[in-house]
Amino acid sequence: MQVILAKPRGFCAGVVRAIEIVERALEKYGAPVYVRHEIVHNRHVVNTLRRKGAVFVDELSEIPTGAMTVFSAHGVARRVEEEAKARGLPVLDATCPLVTKVHLQGRRYGATGRALVLIGHEGHAEVEGTIGQVGVPIRLVQSVDDVAALDIAVDTPIAYITQTTLSVDDTREIIAALNERFDDVLGPDVSEICYATQNRQTAVRDLCRVAELLLVVGSDNSSNSRRLREIGLDAGLPSHLVANGDALDPSWFDGVDVVGVTAGASAPDELVEDVIAALRRFCPVEVSQLDGVEEKLEFALPRELRTPSMPLARA
For the stretch 87-135, pLDDT in tens is 999 999 999 999 999 999 999 999 999 999 999 999 999 999 999 999 9
- Give the pLDDT confidence score for residue 306 in this predicted structure: 85
- Give the pLDDT confidence score for residue 168 in this predicted structure: 77
- Give the pLDDT confidence score for residue 166 in this predicted structure: 82
Q: Is the confidence at residue 310, as pLDDT, over 60?
A: no
Reading phi first (left if > 0) and then psi (alpha if -120 to 50, else beta), residue 122 is in beta
Q: Name the strand (E) or helix (H) holding 109.
A: helix 97-111
- Give the pLDDT confidence score for residue 169 in this predicted structure: 76
Cis peptide before 90 (omega within 30 of 0): no
- Give the pLDDT confidence score for residue 4 in this predicted structure: 98
- Give the pLDDT confidence score for residue 185 in this predicted structure: 97
Of residues 3 and 172, more confidence is placed in: 3
pTM: 0.91
What is the C-alpha to C-alpha distance for residues 11 and 314, in angstroms, rounded to an integer?
Answer: 9
> How far is Cα of residue 248 from the mean position of the Cα atoms in its chain?
23
Q: Is the confidence at residue 188, as pLDDT, over 90?
A: no
The band of 279, judged by pLDDT with boundaries at 50, 70 and 90, is: very high
Residues known to be catalytic: 126
Q: Is the confidence at residue 18, as pLDDT, over 70?
A: yes
Starting at the earlier edge strand, list the strands of the sheet with 185-186.
138-141, 115-119, 158-162, 185-186
- Contact at 8 Å (CB) between 281 and 261? no
Question: Mapping DSSP to helix (H, G, I), strand (E, B) and coil, where does residue 135 land?
Answer: coil
- Contact at 8 Å (CB) between 131 and 77? yes
Question: Mapping DSSP to helix (H, G, I), strand (E, B) and coil, where does residue 262 land?
Answer: strand
Residues 164-178, mean pLDDT to the nearest whole number: 87
The band of 190, judged by pLDDT with boundaries at 50, 70 and 90, is: confident
- Give the pLDDT confidence score for residue 313 in this predicted structure: 44
What is the C-alpha to C-alpha distance for residues 248 and 253, in angstroms, rounded to an integer?
Answer: 9
The band of 38, judged by pLDDT with boundaries at 50, 70 and 90, is: very high
Centre a 10 Å sphere on the Cβ of residue 286 and count the other Cβ atoms it contains: 9
Query: How many residues are listed for the chain in this entry?
Result: 315
Sign of CA pseudo-dihedral 164, 199, 39, 33: negative
Burial label, 217 (beta-carbon count in 10 A; 0-12, 13-18, 19+): buried
Q: Is the confidence at residue 184, as pLDDT, over 70?
A: yes
The band of 308, judged by pLDDT with boundaries at 50, 70 and 90, is: low
